[in-house]
Amino acid sequence: MPATLVESPIVAEYRRLTPRSAELAAKARQLLPSGITHDSRFLQPYPIYVARAAGSRKWDVDGREYVDYTGGHGALLFGHNHPTIVAAIERQLPLGTHYGAGHEQEIVWAEWVHRLMPSCECVRFTSSGTEATHLALRLARAYTGRNKIMRFAGHFHGWHDHMAFGVGSHFDGRPSIGVLREVADQIVLAPPGDLEAVRSLMDQHADLAAVIIEPTGASWGQLPVLGEFLHALRHETAHRGSLLIFDEVISGFRCAPGGAQQYFGIRPDLTTLAKILAGGLPGGAVGGRRDILDLLSFPDQPGEREKVPHQGTYNANPLSAAAGIAALEMVATTDACARANEYGRRLRLALSEVIREQGASWIVYGSFSGFHIWPNPERLPLSAEQIEAGHYDYRVLKARPRPELLTKLRLGMLIHGVEIFSWPGGPTSAVHTDADLEQTVGAFAATLKMLREEGELI
Ligand code: PLP
């Protein structure tokens, strides 16, 4: 990220349209580092502050309306405030928000997870996706008696110490600041999609407890993963006695009702879930083989064996359970996943057409209900089809050689009433409309024009 953003017509226009957000950002910076609460919400000169949201849209504190592609960080397959989910929360609210005890809803919620993902023979709820991947690693180590974990460069699995490096930087496996070297040493960071390299690393590290992967590719397909690669991973892990963990925090209940594992026809040993799982409220889960999840069970006889400890004040919170049940029921009984996927496909095509018309070297690509905009700053002879077919260098796609260009892209889209996610790109939803698509395409064309006028579009 640039230390300071140089003023320009795009930046000036954004400032002109969002004075109240500027005020709130100045206030926020007094208390919140960088004025934000999640790294991916960082935007210079400041992000918009949102006052309300509904369906595919949100409104900022200056009264401006946006087509939303942040989608609750991927949690909102049904958009903001879907009436069925709101009604489920409203029914639960007067009945209590925290029992500190078991409740029927948590059983129904787990039944929905199992019905949609049969590999989840047992489920343990957590409060977030980060907690889910943390618990999955602990279970894998306890089950196998091995220490090391293989994960893939660029893939995101939350922010705990095992996952905090090698995502956007530190691709050599060095720990990011604040993470113990001893923890990082237990992570085998593999190049995504490179089966030969993976096999060779597996030969070198016979003590792999598990391999964890985002099965649709890093950051919702920013670094696409092919089905053959996933099938080979399934084979190699089973053959070598390591567990295969699908991190379906974002792909689960999204690319298909049963997630990537249903789409690719692969049964992982463990699955980590969050986002759509809890219908837009906080929540996560680890699901998987009964013999592995049984390590969380108390032994029949005291002292018979050691259990894996796991607590969490907000696990299976009743409000999250109510919202989650409503969401999963709609995933199972409607064509929501297919609609979000189809909108994603149309949006990728339409944005690519804008690029073609403007003679730019940018590339829009993605899969399922996701789109990624890559400005291709070096004008590499690469196409969306090549990237989607796995022919890319992950360091190139993850690199941010001209961060000010990406910032201005996001500002330009905001100026024209569209908020995209920081990748840049975003998840699409089942409630995005033709009007949203038209507005997004218009905003993209106008933004590219503004960038060209500023000499940023090469
Ligand atoms: N795993 C994946 C694939 C994710 O996309 C995310 C969040 O974006 C996480 C884990 C972490 O989930 P949470 O933000 O709920 O901790």
Query: Considering Cα of 142, then 143, then 144, then 145, what sign does the dihedral take?
Result: positive
For residue 173 the two structure tokens come to 């496996």
The side-by-side arrangement of strands in the sheet containing 65-68 is: 50-54, 57-60, 65-68, 418-419
Instruction: Examine the pLDDT at 1 and tell me if it is beyond 60.
Output: no
Instruction: Examine the pLDDT at 386 and tell me if it is beyond 50.
Output: yes
Give the distance (Å) from ligand 1 centre to CA of residue 116: 20
* Residue 253 backbone dihedrals phi, psi, to 5 degrees: 65, 15
Q: Looking at residue 377, what is its pLDDT?
A: 84
Query: Atom 5 of ligand 1 has which residue's CA nearest to it?
Result: 250
Instruction: Examine the pLDDT at 3 and tell me if it is beyond 70.
Output: no
**Mean pLDDT for the chain overall:** 96
> Which atom of ligand 1 is least distant from the CA of 248?
3
Torsion of CA 421, 422, 425, 426, to 10 degrees: -30
> Which atom of ligand 1 is least distant from the CA of 282?
15
Q: What are the pLDDT digits (tens) for 291-325?
A: 999 999 999 998 899 999 999 999 999 999 999 99
Protein residues with CB under 6 Å of any ligand 1 atom: 73, 128-130, 133, 156-158, 214, 247, 249-250, 274, 284
Instruction: Examine the pLDDT at 426 and tell me if it is beyond 60.
Output: yes
Percent of the chain with pLDDT over 90: 95
> Which atom of ligand 1 is least distant from the CA of 275?
15
Q: Looking at residue 399, what is its pLDDT?
A: 82
Question: Is the preceding peptide bond at 45 cis, omega within 30 degrees of 0?
Answer: yes
Give the distance (Å) from ligand 1 centre to CA of residue 128: 7
pTM of the model as a whole: 0.97
